[in-house]
Structure 1
Amino acid sequence: MISNLPDDIKYKILELLPVQEAVQTSVLSKQWCHKWASMPTIFVSELNCVSPTLGDTYAPRLEKFVDKLLLLHKGPLKSFQLFTGQCRPPAFDQWMRVLSRLGIIDLHWVLVNYEVEYRIPSIFFSFDALETVYLCNFLLKVPQHFNGFKALRSMELLKCTSTTADLTKQLSNCPVLESLVLISMKVSIGLKIRAPRLKMLIINGSFAYVQLEAPMLANAKILLRNSDTCCLGKNGGKSNLEEALGSLVHIEKLKMKEDFVKYLAKGCLPDHLPYMFNHLKKVSIKLNFHRFKEIRVACILFHNALNLQDLYILADPSTLTKEEDPSTFTSFWDTEASHGLVFNQLKTIFMEQYEACEPILAFVKLILGSAPLLEKMILRESTIYEEDENGNLTQITLDLDKSTKASTKAAIIFE
């Protein structure tokens, strides 16, 4: 009965098997003989191909198995996924050449525990049909004749090495790229991303600068480390804030983690950004309320995000220096309130590592007084408040409850 199923269902069955077992189905009957050779998807993992107990013959046997797997495949091959920590670069070169002839659409290639990145051969950049790419531990050197991945919609690069110029060239030649993930990349200088159709972006790593030209970007998560090594803007004297966020006119969700706000605060800050973020509804930000330029970055963003509905803040625990006066930060928020900083659409605010210090209290009271639709304010304290001998909360909590509220439904919840 199974043998009489349509070919597309047989392929689905084969794809669910470990690839070695899928090849072994050739012995079942004539109807299954070499059926695996037309599978549109091949997933190769060392864990289910060759027994690691083979010792010194482990890698050669695995390479020989993959050689035959690809050379006997009748194609077209839509998806090829390889997870290996043992195979050697000469074998990779051979497999890339074979894949170039099979019309590959989806490529997942993960090199595990490799101390030296494998330089991907230039033939990879001629894969015209590629729509999805996931690469781990590769050295990317873009050839001069590269004309772009015209069909590529999704790219994920993990622990890959490249130069700023090569990465920029690669991304700029992907006209329909919609999703981009860059994790622990080793880039010579910084990131310059030009992607007119990009909708989703995740950046996690250390870069000297971040320039974004992605007007259709809707969802972005940027985690930037080592802000002390970051430099000022490179694009015609623009500030880091303008270069990174200034053109994101369609952004809906924005997460700014680790040192990214520190980076945005470097140099001279503009009074405002050139475009409004009318689609921005969710913001997640790590913010130090004791650093003037960082809270200015947040204010510029809030002024341009009139439809903000959900706000998550991780309060940086850094404290004031001896030279700083906390009243300066308190008056800053009072000034912003008088300049029309309001949160007319805000419904939820969650603050992690909340502390009852003057700068944070001033900001919280600004929210309470200018958010008519606010439903919930959750304050998760870095130090748990103690009750007095009568079981009452400290006076600072009671003061918030008595603060002027623009919303009659606003609930203040301490965790």
Structure 2
Amino acid sequence: MTQDGERVAVEGDREDRISDLPRNVIDRILELLPVEDAARTSILSRKWRYIWAMLPSLVLGYRFCKSFKWEESPFNFKEAVDNILLMHMGDIVKFVLDTRALRLSLSAAIDRWMFYVTRNGVKELTLRVSSYHTYTLPSSIFNCSSLTKLTLFKCVFKPPNSFLGFQNLITLCLQGATFVPTTSFCVIKAPRLASLTLDSCNGTQYLNIVSPGLESLYVSNSQWQCYPLLNCLINCKSLTVLKLECHDVVNNPKPNEKTTLEKLLVSLPALEVLDLDSFFVELLSADVVPNGLPVTLNCLWHLLLNLDLGKMGLTSYVLQLIKNSPNLSKLEIRVDGTSDDAETVMKYLDMPSCLERPLNNLEHVAINFFKSSKAELLFVKLLLSSTPYLLSMCIRQWADIDVDIALELMRFRRASPRAELFYSQQKT
């Protein structure tokens, strides 16, 4: 008390600013905490007692699973997840489950948990299971109409005969999934699907995606599984981002495979970002005559390509693709290989008519895994002299920085007075 009889504020009387935050802010704070720490907030006060149990987002990730002792973990883990779901109140908008830390099969328990969350309005579902066991997705996932984002790892994708598609799904990411067709094909109807990722999946030759509004596609797979999938996506006229990777080494590609990829590129009038690894670049460059590229990408502004500057066909094709992208503003080259003995390539790059006209929209260039060969230096020289509006060129050297190479690069003539050249060592 003061002399005037006024009560002095003590620590416990100060305003509880965290508790007075808006509920959505408190939910976001708790979502960033491990689930066990979020549960501990229930002892803070009556106001906090049930907040964690009403969180719309439940993340039971790898760290949570790993926290259980190995000799008792299967039973304790199942009991813990059961209790969390039993105490939860309200809808579960986002649910993440990662069981990789446990090597025993949890299929029956996961089926039960999937049934629960899909009955409680889940919109974003992520499931990562142990690679030691296969897990076949239950019908409850296929029947969940509220899903907008589905991310699955190492799951068997076998839709029931009654499957009508994911009517509200916007994002689908499948890694290491296995597709098992119900009849001759595994048909996925997703009319609102905008983003699709298929990474190292098996059985994609049986997959038929029906999503006319697809905007972003990433496929990483073996050669023989890629083409049936690409064929069924030719009608995706809204595709703006396309990234293709292949696990195989180029070995006598078939003419129909090249035709499929060319048809796909020609059929994408809205394509803005294109990322092709060495397999697809070499496939497209096969048998291409000079100035005979059949595709013009008018909307493309970002191009990422693998390039072997020791191969004349690849080098010629890449330059033609750059020329046939009139609105290209960002170019990234990953140098696969090169050779100082590639005289044909060097003569070609040194020709004044190599690019024919300036690249007026190109502003940013990045060259990764630079090996300092003569062909690479000529390639850099060509780009610097053909880009009047270039702002930056970043060259990342694969080995240690070579001072002589750096000086030579700095001496190259630049068509753009604003162009800055950055030369550094590759970190990854």
User: TM-score, normalised to structure 1's length?
Assistant: 0.77
Residues 287-324 of structure 1: CA distance to partner in whole angstroms, max 9, x if unpaired?
A: 0122233234323422321011222212222548xxxx
Secondary structure at 1:239's aligned position in 2?
Answer: helix
Partner in structure 1 of residue 269 of structure 2: 249
> Does 2:149 align with 1:129?
no
Residues 61-83 of structure 1: CA distance to partner in whole angstroms, max 9, x if unpaired?
A: 22123234334544322111111
Distance 2:157 2:86 in 1: 25
For residues 197 and 224 of structure 1, do their structure 2 counterparts lie closer, same or farther at Cα, with a shift above 3 Å needed? Answer: same
Offset, 1:37: 4.6
Partner in structure 2 of residue 224 of structure 1: 246
Select the residue among 371, 374, 377 that pairs with 2:387: 371
For residues 330 and 120 of structure 1, do their structure 2 counterparts lie closer, same or farther at Cα, with a shift above 3 Å needed? Answer: same
Partner in structure 2 of residue 390 of structure 1: none
Offset, 1:91: 0.8
Select the residue among 309, 329, 334 that pairs with 1:289: 309
Distance 1:117 1:336 in 2: 58
Q: Which moved more, 1:14-23 or 1:364-373?
A: 14-23
Select the residue among 182, 187, 195 that pairs with 1:179: 195
Tell me if structure 1 keeps the 8 A contact 2:31–2:58: yes
Q: Which moved more, 1:97-106 or 1:378-387?
A: 378-387
Residues 70-100 of structure 1: CA distance to partner in whole angstroms, max 9, x if unpaired?
A: 3454432211111113261111122222223
> Does 2:168 align with 1:151?
yes
Residues 206-240 of structure 1: CA distance to partner in whole angstroms, max 9, x if unpaired?
A: 34234143332333333322133695365xx8624
Secondary structure at 2:277's aligned position in 1?
Answer: strand
Partner in structure 1 of residue 68 of structure 2: 52
Distance 2:328 2:123 in 1: 38
Partner in structure 2 of residue 88 of structure 1: 106
Equivalences, count: 398
Partner in structure 2 of residue 350 of structure 1: 366
For residues 6 and 347 of structure 1, do their structure 2 counterparts lie closer, same or farther at Cα, with a shift above 3 Å needed? Answer: closer
Distance 1:126 1:183 in 2: 24
Distance 1:254 1:36 in 2: 43
For residues 164 and 5 of structure 1, do their structure 2 counterparts lie closer, same or farther at Cα, with a shift above 3 Å needed? Answer: same
> Does 2:94 align with 1:79?
yes
Secondary structure at 1:144's aligned position in 2?
Answer: coil
Q: Which moved more, 1:307-316 or 1:20-29?
A: 20-29
Tell me if structure 1 keeps the 8 A contact 2:30–2:52: yes
For residues 338 and 18 of structure 1, do their structure 2 counterparts lie closer, same or farther at Cα, with a shift above 3 Å needed? Answer: closer
Offset, 1:182: 2.6
Offset, 1:188: 5.1
Matched residue type, 2:175: L
Match runs of 1:195-206 below 5 Å: 195-206=211-222
For residues 194 and 380 of structure 1, do their structure 2 counterparts lie closer, same or farther at Cα, with a shift above 3 Å needed? Answer: same
Residues 7-63 of structure 1: CA distance to partner in whole angstroms, max 9, x if unpaired?
A: 65665565455434555666777766655554322222364478523x443211221
> Does 2:121 align with 1:103?
yes
Partner in structure 1 of residue 131 of structure 2: 114
Offset, 1:334: 6.8
Secondary structure at 2:142's aligned position in 1?
Answer: helix
Secondary structure at 2:353's aligned position in 1?
Answer: helix
Secondary structure at 1:70's aligned position in 2?
Answer: helix
Residues 150-205 of structure 1: CA distance to partner in whole angstroms, max 9, x if unpaired?
A: 1111122222222599998555x112222222333234548876543233333334
> Does 2:58 align with 1:42?
yes
Distance 2:253 2:24 in 1: 54
Tell me if structure 2 keeps the 8 A contact 1:240–1:263: no
For residues 308 and 124 of structure 1, do their structure 2 counterparts lie closer, same or farther at Cα, with a shift above 3 Å needed? Answer: same
For residues 242 and 394 of structure 1, do their structure 2 counterparts lie closer, same or farther at Cα, with a shift above 3 Å needed? Answer: closer
For residues 25 and 297 of structure 1, do their structure 2 counterparts lie closer, same or farther at Cα, with a shift above 3 Å needed? Answer: same
Matched residue type, 1:52: F
**Any stretches of 5+ residues in structure 1 without a counterpart?**
388-392
For residues 190 and 33 of structure 1, do their structure 2 counterparts lie closer, same or farther at Cα, with a shift above 3 Å needed? Answer: same
Select the residue among 337, 341, 353 that pairs with 1:317: 337
Match runs of 1:205-216 below 5 Å: 205-208=221-224, 209-210=226-227, 211=230, 212-213=233-234, 214-216=236-238
> Does 2:102 align with 1:64?
no
Secondary structure at 1:316's aligned position in 2?
Answer: strand
RMSD: 4.1
Match runs of 1:332-343 below 5 Å: 332-333=348-349, 337=353, 340=356, 342-343=358-359
Distance 1:377 1:203 in 2: 28
Partner in structure 1 of residue 408 of structure 2: 397
Question: Structure 1 vs Structure 2: percent identity of aligned residues?
Answer: 27
User: TM-score, normalised to structure 2's length?
Assistant: 0.75
